[in-house]
């Protein structure tokens, strides 16, 4: 879906003005009233279904929290924001002047939970054999080369509800105070994607980039093993799919740098 706010972007000297996305997003999130008081889904006749603890459902809830903030940033900076029309396409939101803008901003929303405050966590950050390679057009809204910034808005919550279905009970609108929130202690970070990327693939047999594993402060500080975004891209564009294929090449950042030093 494409949302056109105004036809022009803010310009300085005929160049697209750079926005400080991290600062703008966190400021607007902090000013948002009742940020996370979402306890259920309402039908048109006023029946409320409690959320429960299904992680996919809760991920959608945090995307809903994010959307109006992105829209507001677009409005204030005379930009357009776009959401993918295909479910498995990156990113969740694109900020841009127009479709020809060579400095688009990608924003992806990531959500996970911890059992206890201070626990470490991680995410997967998208495939390393798709849009960051070749012509950069696979599974991405616009070609990768047209994006100048890639941001991750990460939500980490403490899970309260233990069941996917929050019981069989439904509620009426007037009973909202009786519905318990399925999560608590929501923490947020906004960081550039490469700064939270690790040098290991994500869990399982998928060809996904793995994030660092750390606390919320590690993500806020961007404690990546990569020195630059260029190094991050070079690493993952050449990272092989399987352990057998990586044998004799590299499987971590130390081996990668040694290989380049030998060259």
Q: What DSSP state is assigned to residue 24?
A: H
217 is catalytic: no
Question: Of the listed 101, 104, 110, 218, which one is catalytic?
Answer: 110
Return the percent helix, strand and coil in the chain, to nearest 5: 30, 30, 45
| Contact in structure between 105 and 142 (CB atoms under 8 Å) | no
**DSSP code, position 121:** B
Q: Which of 28, 108, 192, 234 is catalytic?
A: 108
Answer whether 17's CB lies under 8 Å from 77's CB.
yes
Whether 92 is catalytic: yes
User: At a CB cut-off of 8 Å and minimum separation 6, what does 110 contact?
Assistant: 123, 125, 152, 153, 154, 155, 211
Give yes or no for a contact between 114 and 121, defined as CB atoms under 8 angstroms apart.
Answer: yes
Structure-token match 């279904």, residue found:
49
Write out the catalytic residue numbers: 92, 108, 110
């Amino acid at each position: 879906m494409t949302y056109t706010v105004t036809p022009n972007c803010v310009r300085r000297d005929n160049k697209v003005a750079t926005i400080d996305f991290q600062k703008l997003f966190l400021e607007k999130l902090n000013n948002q009233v009742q940020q996370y008081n979402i306890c259920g889904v309402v039908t048109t006749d006023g029946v409320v279904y409690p959320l429960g603890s299904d992680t996919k459902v809760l991920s959608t809830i945090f995307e809903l929290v994010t959307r109006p903030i992105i829209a507001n940033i677009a409005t204030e900076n005379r930009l357009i924001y776009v959401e993918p029309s295909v479910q498995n396409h990156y990113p969740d939101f694109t900020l841009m002047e127009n479709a020809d803008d060579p400095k688009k901003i990608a924003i992806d929303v990531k959500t996970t939970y911890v059992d206890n405050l201070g626990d470490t966590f991680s995410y997967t950050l998208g495939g390393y054999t798709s849009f960051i390679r070749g012509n950069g057009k696979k599974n991405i809204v616009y070609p990768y080369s047209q994006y100048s910034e890639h941001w991750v808005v990460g939500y980490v919550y403490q899970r309260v509800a233990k069941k996917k279905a929050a019981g069989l009970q439904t509620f009426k609108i007037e009973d909202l105070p009786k519905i318990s929130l399925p999560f608590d202690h929501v923490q947020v970070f906004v960081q550039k994607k490469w700064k939270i990327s690790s040098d290991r693939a994500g869990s399982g047999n998928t060809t996904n980039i793995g994030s660092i594993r750390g606390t919320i402060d590690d993500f806020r500080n961007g404690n990546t093993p990569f020195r630059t975004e260029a190094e991050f891209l070079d690493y993952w564009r050449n990272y092989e799919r399987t352990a057998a294929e990586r044998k004799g090449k590299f499987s971590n950042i130390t081996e990668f740098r040694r290989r380049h030093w030998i060259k």
